[in-house]
Structure formats: structure tokens, C-alpha cells
Amino acid sequence: MELIVSMSIMGTLAALAIPYYLEQQAQSKTVKTVDNLNTIASVIKVHYDSVVSRASGANPVPQVDAYLSSAQDIKDSTAVITYEFNGSTHTVKFGDMFGKKPPVSPFGDQPYQIQSEQNASITFGQNAAGTVYITSFTPARIKIWDVQDSSLFNIKMKL
């Protein structure tokens, strides 16, 4: 009889603890995903900002690569930033940013996705005195998201 009572008490405790544990595990994955997305965004922003100081040519604003018009895995070797320097075109690839191991989603260990939403552009004008000035500037914008749930986990960032 004591064994049955002990087992029923342990069963009740397990019934209360298991759902809480599963909820905490899912919440931990959510926090990890948001942290990963912010890390990816920070790395891309740092590289983009470092390229801005080197870019030159007719359009001194680095471009988010046109290949990103469709979704790309963050782990592939696709170039994310293209810029001109000393008359030649240079690219910064994902592999250069993240090395061999960019973060992966804790929800099934899938790579994150990235897509270009808007290229940067800059327009110059010149006044009567011959001074060149910027008339308009549009920042690049990209979207980074977790393929497991693109509606819940995504970051849109301006570069």
C-alpha cells in the first residue's frame, strides 16, 4: 500500500514538473534564436561599416549583393556586400564573416536565412558654386530570419 501511495505522489509531481520543464526548454530556444539573430545582424553591420570607409568609385555606397534577392542560407559562401575600391570590385562573403561555424537555429539545427530587401543608393548634386553635395541617400536593408518560424523570428536591419 505504501508503495502505491509513493508511486502516485511521484506520478503527480512528474505530471506537474514535465510541462514546466518543456515550457522552459522552448523558452530557452526562443531566447537563443533571438540572440543568434542579433549576433548575425551585428556581424554584418560591423563588416558593412568597415567597408564604407574603403569604398570608392562612381557609387561609394557598398551594395547588398543582388544574389540575396532570394533567400540564402547564412552558412553558404555567397557574397553579402559588394563594393568598389581602386577601380576593382570586391566582395565580402558570409564565410569571411562567420568562419566555418555561423550560428544555427536551436529549433532543428537549421541555418538561418538572409535576403536583401533594398540596396543602398546615393545621389549627388552640385550647386552654382560647384560644391558637390548629397541630395539623397537610401540605406541598404536586409532581412535575417529563422527558417523554423519566419513570422516569429526575423530581424529587418538597415545598413
> 16 pLDDT exceeds 80?
no
- The domain segmentation of the chain, as residue ranges, is 2-158
Q: Mind listing the pLDDT tens digit for each residue in 36-80?
A: 999 999 999 998 988 888 887 777 788 888 888 888 888 888 888
CA dist., res. 146 & res. 155, Å (int):
9
Amino acid letter, residue 46: V
Average pLDDT over residues 81-85: 87
Cβ atoms of 132 and 126 within 8 Å: the answer is: yes
Instruction: Give the pLDDT band (50/70/90) at residue 99.
Output: confident
> 13 pLDDT exceeds 80?
no
Work out the number of other CB atoms within 10 angstroms of the CB of residue 122. Answer: 13
Q: How much is the pLDDT for 144?
A: 92
Burial class (CB in 10 A: 0-12, 13-18, 19+), 109: exposed
DSSP the chain: -HHHHHHHHHHHHHHHHHHHHHHHHHHHHHHHHHHHHHHHHHHHHHHHHHHHTT--SSS-S-EE-GGGGS-EETTS--EEEEEEETTEEEEEEHHHHHTT---B-TTTSPBEEEEEEE--EEEEEE-TT--EEEEEEE--EEEEEETT-TTTSEEEEE-
CA dist., res. 28 & res. 112, Å (int):
17
Q: How much is the pLDDT for 37?
A: 92
Q: Mind listing the pLDDT tens digit for each residue in 133-147?
A: 888 888 889 999 998
Question: Does 83 or 77 have the greater pLDDT score?
Answer: 83
Average pLDDT over residues 15-38: 83
Average pLDDT over residues 91-116: 85
Q: How much is the pLDDT for 132?
A: 83
Lowest mean pLDDT among 8-12, 17-21, 84-88, 89-93: 17-21
> 22 pLDDT exceeds 80?
no
CA dist., res. 50 & res. 43, Å (int):
11
CA dist., res. 108 & res. 26, Å (int):
12
Percent of the chain with pLDDT over 90: 9
